[in-house]
Each structure stands twice: as C-alpha cells, then as structure tokens.
Amino acid sequence: MEPNSMNNDTICAISTPAGVGGIAVARVSGPDAFRIVDSLWHGKSLSNAASHTAHLGTIDDTRGNMLDQAVTTVFKAPNSFTGENVVEISVHGSRWIQRELIATLCKAGCRLAEPGEYTRRAFASGRLDLAEAEGVADMIAANSRAAHRAASNQLRGHYSRYLAKMRQQLVDLASLIELELDFGEEEVEFASRQQLNDIATSLHKSLTRLRDSYASGAAIKQGIPVAIIGPTNAGKSSLLNALTHDDRAIVSDIHGTTRDVVDDLIEIGDYQFRFQDTAGLRETHDTIEQIGIERSINAARKARILIYMVDSSSPDKAIENIDQTLSLNPEAHIIIALNKADIVTPQLTAQLTDNIERQYPEAIVLTISTKQQQSIDQLSDTLTRLIDSESQDNDLIVTNARHAQALDQAAQAIERVKAGLRDNISGDFIAHDIRETIHPLATITGQITTDDLLATIFTRFCIGK
C-alpha cells in the first residue's frame, strides 16, 4: 500500500484478541465507515446518529441474512481514535461470526486493515505523536503495574512533553548562538559562554539520565532478570520453587542435578521478575554439566539482580566462589541468601552474617530457609525495593530501544556542544552540533520521520490495533 493512500479508503478488522469470547469487536475506520455499515445494519441510521453513542440492532452476513444481534458505537471525525469516522461493531464471540462479519464488511467496500494501521492513522491525523503511538503497543503488551505505568506515561504524552521541553531549550540555545554570530562584531552580549555552557550542561544531564534509564526500562518491560547462582546443593532450585509456589525445578541431594538454566516469570509487587535457576558452580569433568555452568555464568552476566545462595551448614565451602561470581557482573544488585537456617544455630547464623557483611558491604545479606519458607516474603520485598530505588527519582523511564539509540545520539551531540563552548570554538560548529542534538529528539516523536521507519514501527503491531 502506498503511503499517500493511507487515509483514502475505509478499513476493518477484529480489534479484540483472537479466539472465542463473550463478545468480539470489529472496528471500521475511514471516510465511508457510516455508509458501509449502514448498508448491512438494521437499526438506527448510523450516519445520522450523534457521535459517541451506542445502538442496538442486527447486522447481515454475506448472503443478506441476519448474522447476529449487535451493538454499534459511533465516533465521528475528528473525535475518534484514528481521527476518522469510526464504527465499532460488538457481536457474539464465535469465530465463525467474526470471520463472516469481516468478509461481509470487505464485500461491502472495506479493506482489511494492515498490522498497526489504526494507530498509524491516529499518528497521521495528529491524534498521537510517534512516541505516543508506540505507547499503545506497550500498553497492550504490559504484564506488570510498572510496565503499565511506563506505557501510560508514554501514551498520555508525559514523555513527549518532556522531550518537547528539551527541544525548545535546544532551539533557544541555538538562537543565542546565532545571535552571537550575527552581532559578533558589535559590543553586544546576549549570553556569556559560561551561561551557554550551563544550559548545555543541564541538557546533557537530562539527556543522559533519560538514556541511561533504558537499562531499567527494558528490564521492566521484558521481566527483570534475576540469576539464582551459587554452588551445588545450596538450595537454588528450592528457592525457585518457593518463589513460584510450584515444583518448577527438580530438587535433589545429588550434586549437579540442575544442568541447564530454568527460567520462570513471577509477578512480585509492581514488577515482573524473570528468575533463572542456574547450574551449581563447581569443578567438573562432565561435559554436559560444564555447558550448564557456562550458561549459568552467562545468565549472571546479564542479570539485573544476582541472588548468591550460601549453604549455611557448610559456609566455608559455600563462600569460596563469591568473589569470582560477583566479579561477573559488577553493575548488578547483589543479594547473598544464607539458606538452611532451619538446621543451623542462631549463633552460627549471626556469625556468618556478620562475616559476610564485613567482606561484602555492597551486598544485602538475608537469612532464609527454602524448606521452611522462612523469610521468602522478606526476599520478595527486597527485590521490589531494589528496583524501586532505581526509579524513585525518575518518573519517566525509556523502554524503547529506538528511543534509547536516539537519546544516545543526542547526548553525544550535546557533549560536543559543551566541548565547543569550553574550548571557545566558532559558533558555526556549535550551532551545527545543536542541530545534531535536536534531530534525533524529533525522530522520537515523529516530527522528523521516513516511510521506512513508520513501516518498521507499525508492522510490529497486531492487526486491529
């Protein structure tokens, strides 16, 4: 489909999830939406109905027979999601009714919508900017309160307004530089280089903070990776089972039982965590077990949080690999879980806790018993608190890789602006770097875009969205 024909025809698709449900909703959008649906509809004329009203009637099938009793909801342009005339038809959720309804609409003059076409039309009509449009997909895919909150901020324009504010500051900075160039030979100072540098420094801080939030944002969106790691028989699989309240992983006294990474998504508080039960760390000549250990090391390197399991009943052996393990991922939050507290005296547990806290002051040390379910809730609270601490001063979190890349380009460009102001180079070069900062921000919200970029973004959407 040619880009310039995007809004010239009328499209239809089922907008509710695939499968059988109580109802299914077909969305019809375009200039002929009312005429086409009216030709199949027995009830109040939709062309003459007020916007944002619902009507009960029946709708015909491809043979002209009654297909189903239905409710139609009317949205008149420009006050609809797409900015066009829209009719939403609610029918019973039978797969056959859904197929027949779409076939009937296409026979009457509609075209089946392409993936993401409704949201793309909303962007084209100015109802949403590009970042807000991408927020639609993130809202649909959100699997936790935190992911929903991030998508909601993006969809409601909080993120776009923040970018617009930065963009305006950049435009103002560019204007001051241009004035400096225009009146350079006259004794007029609109702003000192120090004042300009202060503005650039503030912008650089905002851009880098937003860019750096992507690590947390991507984890929140996809499930925060947590690697449960440690020596064999420390209770790693038992911890996963305790967290999931299910026998998700095989538990055995035999060393080396877990030979691969066992992955499970668990919702705790506002977040979804992706727990990975890993093979125990030890010297082995077993080729298969060694592959599992290598995968454990890889999981530790990618984790946002490391839970290092210690067998409190044999602490000397258990803690010998902590240094090596923690060095795999210096950026991760560290929790050292002293397991099997139910078979160790409180005095020995307290001594072990004190020793580990002195050796690893950056780690959080918890005493647990996976067998007795002791302190598992405390561990869960600790996990959510660690992620809360990453975003407590940052309401806006970047969850989109495209946005993170654009913000990185902008941050590099504003860094060159700072260097130019510091080194007192010509304003022509500084003005160029300011434009290089503005451009990637404009691509995020769609003020600057290409057909290829739009196609890449919207084809990732489902049909009907």
Query: How far apart are alpha carbons 92 and 368 in whole angstroms?
Result: 51
- Which is nearest to 302 in space by CA: 323, 331, 344, 278? 331
Task: List the domains of the chain with CATH numbers.
Answer: 3-128 (3.30.1360.120), 139-213+399-446 (1.20.120.430), 246-269+277-391 (3.40.50.300)
- pLDDT at res. 259: 40
- State the Cα–Cα distance between residues 136 and 119, nearest whole angstrom: 8
Residue found under tokens 């100015």: 126
Question: Of 259, 235, 238, whose CA–CA distance to 249 is shortest?
Answer: 238
CB-CB contact of 233 with 311 (8 Å): yes
Distance CA 312, CA 368 (A): 10
pLDDT for res 75: 97
Q: How many CB atoms within 10 Å of residue 412?
A: 17
Q: Which ranges in 223-329 belong to alpha helices (H)?
A: 236-244, 287-302, 315-318, 322-326
Identify whether the C-beta of residue 292 lies closer than 8 Å to the C-beta of residue 321: no
Q: How do beta strands 224-229 and 271-277 pair?
A: parallel
pLDDT of 159-191, one tens digit each?
899 999 999 989 888 888 877 665 555 454 555
- For residue 313, the one-letter residue type is S
Q: 5: which 2 tokens?
A: 């024909």
Handedness of CA 443, 448, 453, 459 (dihedral sign): positive
336: phi then psi, degrees, rounded to nearest 5: -105, 115
Q: Which of 215, 218, 204, 264 is nearest to 237 (CA)?
A: 264
User: Under 8 Å CB-to-CB from 186, ≥6 apart: which residues?
Assistant: none
What is the layout of strands, in order, in the sheet containing 41-42? 41-42, 53-60, 66-75, 86-92, 23-29, 11-14, 111-112
pLDDT, position 12? 96
| Whole-number pLDDT of residue 40 | 95
Query: How much is the pLDDT for 256?
Result: 43
Q: Report the pLDDT value the prediction gives residue 185, as an integer from 0 to 100.
A: 52
User: Strand pairing partners for 26?
Assistant: 14, 89
Residues 89, 59: contact at Cβ < 8 Å?
A: yes
In DSSP terms, 66 is beta-bridged to 60
Q: Are the beta carbons of 340 and 368 closer than 8 angstroms? A: no
d(CA 368, CA 364): 13
- CB-based contacts of 97: which residues, under 8 Å, 6+ apart? 24, 67, 68, 91
Intervals of the chain under pLDDT 50: 1-5, 186, 188, 249-260
User: What is the pLDDT at residue 254?
Assistant: 40
